[in-house]
Structure 1
Amino acid sequence: MPLLAPADRRILRELLVRGGSAEIGEIGAAVFLNSQAVQASLGTLQHSGIATPAGSVPGLRGTRWALTPHGFEVGPSLVGNDPAGVPEGVEAPTGADPAQGWGYPWRPPKTEAPLYADGLSRRARRVADRAVISAVGRPRERWRGGRAIAVILLLAATIGVGFVAVGALRVTEITISGITASSILRPSELEGSVLEFTVSGGDLATAQMLLDGLPVSGVQRYEDRIVWQVPGLTEGFHEVTLDVNRRFFGIERAAISFTLDGTPPVVDLPEVHDPVPLGEPLVLAGPIEAGVSLQIGDQVLDTSTGSFSLTLPGPPGGPLAVRAADAAGNTTEFDIIVPIGYPHTTGVHVSAAAWDHDGLRSGIVDLIAQGRINTVQLDLKDESGYIGHTTSIPLARQIGASKELFDLRTAIDELHDMGVRVIGRIVAFRDPTLTRYAVSTGNLDWVLQTPDGRPLSNYNGFSNFNNDTVRKYNLDIAAEAAAAGIDDILWDYMRRPEGDLAGMRIPGWDGGDPSPIIVSFLAESGRMLREMQVFHGVSVFGISARRGQFIAQDIGAMSDHVDYVAPMVYPSHWGRGEYGVAHPEAQPYDITYASLADFQDVLAGTNTAVVPWLQDFSMRVNYGPEEVRAQIDAAADLGISDWLLWDPTVTYTTEGLPVS
């Protein structure tokens, strides 16, 4: 309950004295205030829920106001400390408790109190008499015949003039600045708006503006205009009304309504969808507010029924854009990631030379026959830039990259006949063969360079992942393999070289972290491979979960465009003390568990599969069945049952591999 000013309490007391109801003229005469001041105080009491307009008799009396039930209950406590005292017969409240008087119904005594106190001065009585006459209220004494006749004639003349001037007493114009009737607005659009009511005729001084039925503050009056700057309002429907007293013709009301809406529409779709098997349709459906415009991808959907539905022939090859907009212009935009249900994978790396070698190939066939692996990773383009199989790609043949060790389609068919999947590995941007050709032909923009323009020497040449020719060359290799029946493309060296970024120049790039370029390539290849019904993965450094910026591997962004991430968590590659593991190479379980848990944390909520590269080779510590099995067990203890083994010699530790 707001505090009441002294004038407000005096008027509240007067209403209590009069049994809870009085006309403005009667109140003004009793408390010696003009009608505008009385109207303002009554507005405060109305806003507080204490008083309310009780109607009037057009042409005869002014507006009558009455206490509400709430006013009867709390009124005594609110005027108890008024210097003028409390109504006679009512016990004044004591104490300073602001809640005193709440919840206890009170009714004033039913006494026949005179309209005015007997002790008024002569001047005060004259003021009171004039107030009574202007309000045409009950006279304080019997009028003599001559005076009564004069008043009746005056009223008749006034009424006659009123009928003649009725057209001029109407509110004829409402000028609205910034708001259109029945409009739907955002809060930012309402800010600073001004409502202007132009009044032709009527008593502008007593005109009352209401917002949703309650008086407003801050109203400014200028001759025939009432102006109100609209404050911040709650969301929902609002109506602003202006009531103008037209004396003999009652109240003229003008109104303007609008709806405030700052809440974006809700689209009941997850940002990361559950995995959908490759080749199966994707159904996106749900409820939505009727009339909201909704676009998913490049399709505009019908929402007139309060729901939507979209069926795609298969999961998209990357994020699917969603945009919804309501009538107020509020928008909701996000991307849906639809991961593929990646199949269970236990596989080993096989180079092109190994597949061409009878002895090494027979070792791989034995692992398949024993049920220890269900996937073979076969190199398509390796670290030297050579393509081991016969290729028809013009640039590959032009630069001498094709070694023609085997026919790709024949190899894929043979492995499929054995019941295993085939992953085609492409070493993308580490490419000495392409680099040598580019330098010899003057195409230096195909390669990464030193700041002074010389080819970067890292890895004997690193191609420019920002160059369209280089990107197309790698995509062509993937597309050719997909056409030959490959199940999966796994990109390697999908990064920049290690080292200080300031020590290398990327032609066509204006500097800064080049991670977005790498991600854009994966987005392009993902779209292509999804249309060809081929799985899509990327090999990444073991440190990339938290330190990918050092090699332009943004794992979170990459995961939006691939079906799985293959972190190379080889124990031999970790420094001592990493993840709190004292000697990672000698503690394969501990370092594998810790590093893969970090990747799971980074990829949480993406539904992107994790297929780690594990170590089956020896460096400073000899690796055998126990060390290999320890890594597989560490992954399994995290719920990761997929893995790929790496041995550059393609001779795997059979005893360390479980039989599925």
Structure 2
Amino acid sequence: MNIILALLIWTAGGMGVASHPDGQVTNLLHTTVNSAITQQQNTGNTGSKQTTVKSDPQEEAPKVKGIYVTAYSAGGSRMDQLVNLLDKTELNAMVIDIKDDEGYITYKTDNPKLKELGKPQPFIKDIDKLMQRLNKHDIYPIARVVVFKDTILAKKNPELSFRKGDGSVWQNGRGESFVSPYNKEVWDYNIEIAKEAAKLGFKEIQFDYVRFPEGFEKRADSLKYTKSNQSRVDVISEFVKYARKELAPLGIRVSVDIFGYAASVPAAEGIGQDFVKISKHVDVISPMVYPSHYTTGWFGSKVPDKAPYQTIKGSMKDTHTKLDPLGSYKPIIRPWIQDFTASWLGSGNYAKYGKKEIEEQIRALQDMNVDEYLLWNAANRYTPGVTYK
């Protein structure tokens, strides 16, 4: 995939019609991936297996088969269709935006700390009523919290962000700003949101954008920001470890979204993501393994988007290989899979995704002993008639 194609994916994601917000292939990751194809980096070297048994704070939880739900959908009329979908199928969970991709807290909160640092916008007009509805329909509730991509927090508190030489807040090519993972105040702010979500009744917190900005190594020395002697990889894994420790008393699971490629390549030092180090400190890991995000040659496929079974099976093989050495610290593997058509890839490079393509992805997961998954469609329009297993 060349840079132009990567930018097209970013654009499509920004239009809300395609891929998971943090599932786009960055230039940095693309470079890593290209080298990894020839290096066969699938050894998962993590030392000897752990012997300590890790307990699951949600032992009674179902095998999660869920969908992504925006705050707009959760607080609007589309929720009727989505609840009906879960009532009539094997789907049983919803991942709902509680702090979204811009940094808005998506419901009304009276928490003074959250109001001071963040910007509550009641897209979900009555959060208690929503939670009651989820409980009534036996829907497992997962709160999605976007962490270090936070334009709202960056603008309100520039000292927490990455700043240019003139003191202005840095933005990426899509006009988005990040805050520094080195700043513990940022950690505690996001964990406070997670704690409130737990008190509202969410059973799991799913942290997204647990990373530095894409291509950060190219600007790490030119931007001004809070930093320490820790590497980017270490500070990201430390945040995840800290978050899980802070949330443990509340009896909820902690999960993290991560690039699907991360299972097949060495650590992405530039953005600070190490698949194994992050996975060790979570209850659930959710690699974004959309077939549309793999390029020619991956898992022996000329066009991975047209080979959903082959692509998903290959990605899960790499995921197991990477995580098996963790022993009892190996988290639940619950991938994000594709329920959208990646038409921006251009003629001949994509398939129109429907019932067959979705079922093929699920079949691949089952064949690789992965029985949990999440469906991504940015507009929350999910394919009808799919047999979920």
CA 1:486 to 1:592, structure 2 compared with 1: closer, same or farther past 3 Å? same
The alpha-carbon deviation at position 617 of structure 1 amounts to 1.0
The alpha-carbon deviation at position 394 of structure 1 amounts to 2.6
Aligned to 2:42: none
CA 1:576 to 1:393, structure 2 compared with 1: closer, same or farther past 3 Å? farther
Aligned to 2:211: 495
Residues of 1 paired with 2:133 and 2:267: CA distance? 38
Aligned to 2:288: 568
* Structure 2 letter corresponding to 1:618: T
* Structure 2 letter corresponding to 1:655: G
TM-score where L is the length of structure 1: 0.47
Residues 482-506 of structure 1: CA distance to partner in whole angstroms, max 9, x if unpaired?
Answer: 1111100000000111115141346
Aligned to 1:587: 307
**1:197-276 map, 5 Å:** 271-274=50-53, 276=55
Residues of 1 paired with 2:176 and 2:359: CA distance? 35
Q: Percent identity?
A: 28
Aligned to 2:380: 650
Residues of 2 paired with 1:416 and 1:451: CA distance? 50
- Secondary structure of 2:385's partner? helix
Aligned residue among 339, 349, 353 for 2:68: 349
Residues of 2 paired with 1:351 and 1:653: CA distance? 17
Residues of 2 paired with 1:605 and 1:366: CA distance? 41
* Structure 1 letter corresponding to 2:240: L
The alpha-carbon deviation at position 608 of structure 1 amounts to 1.3
Q: Given that residues 614 and 645 in structure 1 are in contact (C-alpha distance below 8 angstroms), is that contact kept between their aligned partners in structure 2?
A: yes
Residues 60-95 of structure 1: CA distance to partner in whole angstroms, max 9, x if unpaired?
Answer: xxxxxxxxxxxxxxxxxxxxxxxxxxxxxxxxxxxx
The alpha-carbon deviation at position 609 of structure 1 amounts to 1.1
The question of 1:616 aligning with 2:339 is answered yes
CA 1:388 to 1:500, structure 2 compared with 1: closer, same or farther past 3 Å? closer
The question of 1:630 aligning with 2:360 is answered yes
Residues of 1 paired with 2:260 and 2:307: CA distance? 16
The question of 1:600 aligning with 2:314 is answered no
Aligned to 1:393: 111
Q: Which structure 1 segments of 5+ residues have no match?
A: 1-269, 280-339, 439-443
Q: Specify which structure has the higher proportion of helix.
A: 2
* Structure 2 letter corresponding to 1:447: S
Q: Specify which structure has the higher proportion of strand.
A: 1
User: Larger C-alpha radius of gyration, 1 or 2?
Assistant: 1
CA 1:500 to 1:477, structure 2 compared with 1: closer, same or farther past 3 Å? closer
Residues 418-472 of structure 1: CA distance to partner in whole angstroms, max 9, x if unpaired?
Answer: 112100000111111111112xxxxx33012357765321252111111122111
Q: Given that residues 114 and 192 in structure 2 are in contact (C-alpha distance below 8 angstroms), is that contact kept between their aligned partners in structure 1?
A: no
The alpha-carbon deviation at position 371 of structure 1 amounts to 3.0
Aligned residue among 229, 239, 242 for 1:524: 242
**1:357-436 map, 5 Å:** 357-358=76-77, 360-398=78-116, 401-404=119-122, 405-436=124-155
Residues of 2 paired with 1:411 and 1:445: CA distance? 35
Q: Which structure 2 segments of 5+ residues have no match?
A: 1-48, 344-349
* Structure 2 letter corresponding to 1:366: N
- Secondary structure of 2:141's partner? strand
**1:73-92 map, 5 Å:** none
Aligned residue among 253, 257, 260 for 1:542: 260
Q: Given that residues 277 and 341 in structure 1 are in contact (C-alpha distance below 8 angstroms), is that contact kept between their aligned partners in structure 2?
A: no
CA 1:274 to 1:395, structure 2 compared with 1: closer, same or farther past 3 Å? closer
Q: Given that residues 286 and 334 in structure 2 are in contact (C-alpha distance below 8 angstroms), is that contact kept between their aligned partners in structure 1?
A: yes
TM-score where L is the length of structure 2: 0.78
Q: Given that residues 430 and 493 in structure 1 are in contact (C-alpha distance below 8 angstroms), is that contact kept between their aligned partners in structure 2?
A: yes
The question of 1:470 aligning with 2:205 is answered no
Across the aligned residues of Structure 1 and Structure 2, the Cα RMSD in angstroms comes to 2.3
The question of 1:481 aligning with 2:201 is answered no
Aligned to 1:455: 169
The question of 1:552 aligning with 2:272 is answered yes
Q: Given that residues 387 and 403 in structure 1 are in contact (C-alpha distance below 8 angstroms), is that contact kept between their aligned partners in structure 2?
A: yes
Aligned residues: 325
Q: Given that residues 408 and 481 in structure 1 are in contact (C-alpha distance below 8 angstroms), is that contact kept between their aligned partners in structure 2?
A: no
* Structure 1 letter corresponding to 2:339: D
Higher relative contact order (CA 8 A, sep 6+): 2
The alpha-carbon deviation at position 643 of structure 1 amounts to 0.1
